[in-house]
Amino acid sequence: MMTAAQPDIAEWTFPNRFTPVGSAAYYAVRFSPEPLRQRNALLFAWYELIQAIAEHPHDPGAARLKLDWWRQEIANIARGNARHPLAIQLQQVGLNEQAVPGMIAVVDRADAEIRSPSLVDWEAFATACRDSLGNVFLLLGQLEYESGHDADHCVELGTYCAAVERIRQLPRAPQRVPQDLNLRALEQLAPAQRAERIELVLDRFDGADRSCTGSAPDFARRLTALARAMHSKMRRRGYPIIGNPIDRAPIAHLWSAWRCR
């Protein structure tokens, strides 16, 4: 007999709304080792759900209450009594008290950006990226501790991936990049100057260097390969700051994810 919670739980089964078929995240998950596929999809969906709360909060107070609720739910995951359908599935794929510090750090970063949405300089931008996806990649490495993943590499790769995505989303979320990359400042620059300024920001992340890949979880390496490919396309296009964010064709995402072995 189906319970009321089951349809909601099914909503988060891979592919879910944050890993839709054809997206970069979809192929990063799809080529994950089969035993880890659902866990990777769920953890990425949880990360994106937290980012969505922080990105465009119509009511900052209500958004922060949602984050407070998630802090409690993370504690529930650790105790084995999660309530949210996504949290229930995360619990079922093995997340426990080991995951609490990394997940809380992601929520705390989202909270900080709601309270103070302006990132004053490159250092603040780098910290925001590190505290968000950098912590998720670190958690991935911790969950697969027997594989001997390098913690520093995990953090740097996640930080770089977050930076690329924030630059990609600049037209629709300009508050999530450094102040000197705000739309008004960039509009006053010639296209070549604008591209150079943005490129200088992204090149400061160690994850941009392929030698940094090192020993990182499979899912983290594929997401990084996809971020590097997106970075290359944005560079070729001159980092446009109007219109919809740049994307790549599904076949391009597939190729990038498949080649990362």
24 and 73: one domain? yes
Task: Report angle CA 249, 218, 260 to the nearest 5 degrees.
Answer: 45
184-192 CB contacts, 8 Å cutoff, 24+ apart? 186/241, 187/241, 191/238, 192/238
Whether 261 is in a domain gets the answer no
* Cβ pair 173, 56 in contact under 8 A: yes
- Start-to-end Cα distance in the chain: 42
Residues 6+ apart with CB under 8 A from 151: 138, 141, 142
Among 111, 147, 148, CA closest to 131:
111
Tell me phi and psi for residue 52, to 5 degrees. Answer: -65, -35
Whether 222 is in a domain gets the answer yes
Distance (Å, whole) CA 111 – CA 65: 10
For helices 34-55 and 135-143, the axis angle rounded to 10 degrees is 160
3-class secondary structure, 172: coil
State residue 1's pLDDT score.
30
Determine whether 169 is exposed, middle or buried from the number of CB atoms within 10 Å of its CB (0-12, 13-18, 19+): middle
66 and 85: one domain? yes
Whether 258 is in a domain gets the answer no
28 and 15: one domain? yes
Whether 110 is in a domain gets the answer yes
Tens of pLDDT, residue by residue over 194-238, are 999 999 999 999 887 776 666 789 999 999 999 999 999 999 999
Whether 3 is in a domain gets the answer yes
Whether 259 is in a domain gets the answer no
Whether 5 is in a domain gets the answer yes
Distance (Å, whole) CA 87 – CA 37: 16
| Residues in the chain where the model's pLDDT stays below 50 | 1-7
170 and 149: one domain? yes
Whether 43 is in a domain gets the answer yes
For residue 31, the enclosing domain spans: 1-117
State residue 86's pLDDT score.
96
Q: Which of residues 117, 138, 154 is at a domain's end?
A: 117
Kindly report the pTM of this predicted structure.
0.92
Tens of pLDDT, residue by residue over 45-59, are 999 999 999 988 889
Distance (Å, whole) CA 208 – CA 112: 26
State residue 175's pLDDT score.
86
206 and 222: one domain? yes
* Cβ pair 23, 249 in contact under 8 A: no
Within 13 Å and on the Cβ side, how many CA atoms surround 150?
11
27 and 52: one domain? yes
Q: Which of residues 117, 141, 174 is at a domain's end?
A: 117
* Cβ pair 163, 201 in contact under 8 A: yes
Residue 58: CB atoms within 10 Å? 6
Q: Which of residues 54, 83, 117 is at a domain's end?
A: 117
C-alpha separations of 251 from 3, 17, 31 in Å: 38, 19, 14
186 and 83: one domain? no
125 and 109: one domain? no
Q: Looking at the 3D structure of the chain, how many domains does it have?
A: 2
Residue 166 is which amino acid? Answer: R
145 and 209: one domain? yes
202 and 138: one domain? yes
74 and 62: one domain? yes
* Cβ pair 122, 86 in contact under 8 A: no
66 and 177: one domain? no
